[in-house]
Each structure stands twice: as structure tokens, then as C-alpha cells.
Structure 1
Amino acid sequence: MQTFSAEEMGALTRAVINHMDEWKISAEQMLMILGLDEEVRPRHLQQYRQGDKTFPQTPDMMDRIDHIVGIADALRTTFPFSSQMRVMWLSKPHRRFQRRDPLAVMLTEGVDGLMKVRIEVDCAYGYAINDALHAAAEEKKKAAAA
């Protein structure tokens, strides 16, 4: 896992909060997506926004940050001229999510939900995951044959 300096982590924290602000989701939803401790209350998000606090550099949090940034980038690529379309995509039921909206998937399934949504909106990431799975399966076959 890459380690960030305090300044880098502050910038990353603010960027993630800004991405989720653009998604027009509530503070409670942000806390659920981020998987922050139960002691963190919605009112505490202002401290993260202002740079007074940073997210912890745990593997779980760094995975969540990676997926949130990936989703935000992919939405910006998919809908470059309309922030309203980005918000709409997140709240519209989707056939690949059993008619649930992507936001509901992220809220109910944690890191796995974030990854599912990212795979759906970011085809390059989806291809990379698929290639990695195929490579792992091939390695497993080779090891079993040896």
C-alpha cells in the first residue's frame, strides 16, 4: 500500500469529499460509502472538507478512495458536459444491479459495491479486473497440473 504525506492525504481527503458533494448525496450517505467509524458524525465532514482532518490510511479506506476517485473520473469522462447526468446516472435503476441504482449498491455493499459500480461505469477498469482474473485462473491451472 502506498503511503501519503500529511499534505497529500489532506488533498486526497478534500478531493474525495468534493467528488461526493458533486454527487449530491447526504452526509450520512457519505459516511456509509467511506466506511468511517461510528464516532464520526455528519457534522464532522466539515472538518474533512476544510482540511482540519484527513481520512485514515488503512487498506480499507484506501480501497474506498481509489474506487470513489475512479467512479468520479469515469463519470466525468462519460458525461463531460453535464454534472446533472452524472448525478442522474448514480440514482437511476440499472439492469446490471437488479434494477437498483448505483448509489444503493455503493451504500449497501461497501467496498464490493464500489467496485461493482466502478466496473460498470469504467470499462478500462473492468477490462483490467477481467484480465487479472483470467491470469489468476491460468496460474491456478498451471499449479494444479504441476
Structure 2
Amino acid sequence: MRASLESAYCSAHLHGWIDLVFGHKQTGRGAEEALNVFYYLTYAGRADAASASDPAERAELERQLDAHRLDLQYIRYFPPEHKYLSLYPTEGGENDFVQKRKRKLRELVAKRIAEGKGRTDADADSDAGDDDGDGERLEEDDFFLAEGGT
């Protein structure tokens, strides 16, 4: 680990990380250009549904907060037995099949959380498998295969 952190690559790119975390790309225009910004509801203390006076506004705020909570749980408890599907794919990077899979996996994550299960509780939810019965499957992810492996 130490050798990795002291590598020439890390040394050459350290200034960029410092700018994102501590420097001019932390806020304002620099942060926007570096895509180092988040939706305002994700910042602690920015939204309090209980303080909203309008019932419609409160309901909308609760819906948005619930969606963000589910996003966090999706990342944290994504089923390890499935290929990860990014919440924020590159533009045009999703087809109908991937969108359908993401919806099913989000439902599975929400179900696991509601049941008090975490990512290590590998349940046998056959309805969340890669094959939806329509013959389409996600491509195998060979990123972690050993060099020269099949």
C-alpha cells in the first residue's frame, strides 16, 4: 500500500486531488467544472421535511429524501453476487435491458433493507438474476479475471 501511495503516478496527480478536496475545485465554478458538486438535498442540514409548512412541499421533500436514502443503500448494499450497475452511467450508456435490471436490483436492495438484511445476506432471489427469461444477459465482467484466464 505504501509503495502505491509513493508511486510516481500518485505524486504526479496529488495536486489534482488536493484541489478537489481542499482547493479551488471544492466550491463554486471550479467545483462545477470538475463535477465535484452534489444535489443540495444530499448535504447535511440542507433540508428538514418536518420544518416544511406546506403539506405538498413536505411530501415532495420526503419523496426526494427517500430516493437519496435508497441511492445510498443501493451503493452500500448492492448484492455482491450481481454485476454492479452504476447509478450514474455515462450518457447513452444504458439500454432498456440495463434500466430494467437496475429497477429490479433497486427493488431488491429496498427489500433487503426493509427486512433488515445487509450485503452479506446472500438470499436466493431468483427474480433478481441477470437473466430475465427474455434471453438477454449482462455481459460477463472480465475485469477481475486473471491474465490469460477464460
- Do these two structures clear the TM 0.5 threshold for a shared fold by scoring above it? no
Higher helix share: 1
Q: Which has the higher contact order (CA 8 A, sep 6+)?
A: 1
TM-score, normalised to structure 1, is 0.29
Rg bigger for which structure? Answer: 2
